[in-house]
Amino acid sequence: MQAAVPESRKDWPKLAEVAQKWTASEPKVAEAHYTLGIAMEKLNKADLAAKAFEQAFALDANNYDALVHIGLIAKSQGDTAEMHRVQVALANINEDLANEYAELLGCSKSC
């Protein structure tokens, strides 16, 4: 996979380029959008990262990693409603994941 090398080298601009091409050529592949989200997050482009993670989750409703990233971005932006939405979505996948998420974000039992 072309994304592995730039990711392992932490070459975020190159990873973004590869992931953008990947999402264009395979728009229904959740991992492509997730990879784009990672690149955008590392490039401090939170809005673009959140969109990519949202698309990854839309394509794979069990992609809890994408949800956690969406929640972390929401926390950095002070968006408590989005933090809560993510926790509810995680609880629908697995209650333990939702609890770990709440702990990660520094919430009590609920964000």
Structural domain of 44: 1-60
| One pLDDT digit (tens) per residue for the chain, 111 residues | 576 667 788 889 999 999 999 999 999 999 999 999 999 999 999 999 999 999 999 999 989 999 999 999 999 999 999 999 999 999 998 999 899 999 988 887 677
What's the distance, CA 88 to chain centroid? 16
| Separation of alpha carbons 106 and 111, rounded Å | 8
Tokens coding 38: 């990672």
Based on the fold, state whether residues 49 and 68 are members of the same structural domain. Answer: no
Q: Of the residues 42, 60, 78, which one is the last residue of a structural domain? A: 60
pLDDT in the model for residue 24: 97
Q: Of the residues 40, 60, 80, which one is the last residue of a structural domain? A: 60
Based on the fold, state whether residues 46 and 98 are members of the same structural domain. Answer: no
